[in-house]
Amino acid sequence: MRIRLTDSPPRVAAATRVVFLYEGRDPAAGSPAAWTSGVRAAVRATGFTGKEKELAAGGPPGRDFLLCGLGKAPASAARWRSALRKAVRQALERPGRPIVLAFGAGLTEDAFRALLPQIALADYAFDRYKSSRSPGRGAGRVIVVPPPGVSARSLAGAVREAEAIAEAVRWVRDVGNTPGNDLGPAELAGEARALCKRGRISFRVLDKKAIERERMGGLLGVNAGSERPPVFLVGEYAPPRPKGTAVLVGKGITFDTGGISLKPAPSMGEMKYDMMGAATVFGCLAAAKASALPVRLIALAPVTENMPGGSAQRPGDILRMRNGKTVEVDNTDAEGRLILGDALSYAEKFSPDVLLDFATLTGAVLIALGHECAAVMTDDADLARALEAAGEATGERIWRLPLWPEYRENIRSEWADMKNTGGRAAGTINAGIFLKEFVPKGVPWAHIDVAGVAHFEKEQSGWPPGASGFGVALTLEFLKKRFPAPAAG
């Protein structure tokens, strides 16, 4: 949805007026002044109390309101995500009517800025495989009234950025929700190429022969059991006079059976989401270009399936990675770190000032952190703090786990430089310790495990079912602070 900001509710006939209210003695007290009397009438007529997830419609003739409850103040990012999506979905059931969203007291300007991408995404639905489309998908423009004390004019730049983020997240969600029969390595490469072409972003694909020339033993090993050849995707946004270079690496397993170490059948269908890291970094690339960030940004994505074919790699095999280190394959279902290791090594070609990787890497991260946040691992305390701050600002939270050298013993191998697993204990950390072996020397690096937040079976923490697009807003916020634009004038 496109956003039009205005400082006061417009006089629009037959509009669907949506107001977000906190639970309290007088829920209407927080509504915009121009709407207070009408909202109070609607509250009395419907018995609305403002409880979380409560929706009610009513009001004076010709001035009906959709009342959306937020629960006790203040509302978390999760509550706002859920409330916005629910309210807009309800409003879209009245086709042809303008939608006006009004935000009353209780929101700071920074908190409201963080909500803007969620407003633009509130009508998202993945209905490509449905016989009929969801009502109002791509419904056009929504009129938004900021909270008191926040000027619509001051937010013009924030709206443009929010719409850029939302457009990128829609793409990330769409490719993430596409099933494996329609999205193999070649198809993901095609989607990324089209995205970059629309944004006039440099893009190239390394095919299997080029991957072999780069000696990417991890990517080739994981791909060995699949009939679909691997690809390695490279996208680059290079603005004039960049303030620095950032490289983003994303895991791109378009479907993960576990290989010879076969996963159990229940929920294996969710493994179409194992390419969300790759989708995220290309979404970040598109959003950065649309927002004209002053940073050279490179997105790298090793892409393959992990299948149990007759030529598949076996537990006990030893691979030689791009940087020359050898890895004993202890478990073929620990494949993501193998392809990421090659990609992290490849990143040295770009002399990055900072290197981030995103991956649905471990089931263990769900045991540690659940679905509330992603895990971040880095030896750079300043980088960790910057990423945590960006997560808090955008509602895409992350939590730091240690990378102490003592954990290195967990992946020690008798036959190679390391194993690709380290047992059940500290499973997420062991994966981070493994990846650290392939980071170019001296480059600030962080690994972000998004396995618990990249997709959901049902609504979770305000995120919709399916692919979430988690990480795009967080990364854009981080890059803005890390590579600030020159002051105007």
With beta carbons less than 8 A apart as the criterion, state whether 8 and 32 touch. yes
Between CA 292 and CA 485 the distance in angstroms is 9
Q: How far is CA 13 from CA 76, 93, 100, 152, 466, in A?
A: 33, 17, 11, 22, 36
Q: Quick one: 132 exposed, middle or buried, by C-beta within 10 A (0-12, 13-18, 19+)?
A: exposed
Q: Quick one: 218 exposed, middle or buried, by C-beta within 10 A (0-12, 13-18, 19+)?
A: buried
Between CA 341 and CA 345 the distance in angstroms is 6
Known catalytic residue at 133 = no
Q: Which of 94, 160, 263, 408 is catalytic?
A: 263
Q: Which of 296, 337, 397, 482 is catalytic?
A: 337
With beta carbons less than 8 A apart as the criterion, state whether 99 and 88 touch. yes
Distance from chain centroid for Cα 217: 28
Between CA 106 and CA 30 the distance in angstroms is 8
Q: How far is CA 426 from CA 328, 376, 432, 453, in A?
A: 19, 14, 10, 19
Q: Tokens for 338?
A: 């193998």
Give the other-Cβ count within 10 Å of 64's Cβ: 18
With beta carbons less than 8 A apart as the criterion, state whether 254 and 331 touch. no
Known catalytic residue at 337 = yes
Strands 318-320 and 326-328, how do they pair? Answer: antiparallel
Q: Three-state DSSP class for 236?
A: strand
Q: What residues are labeled active site?
A: 263, 337
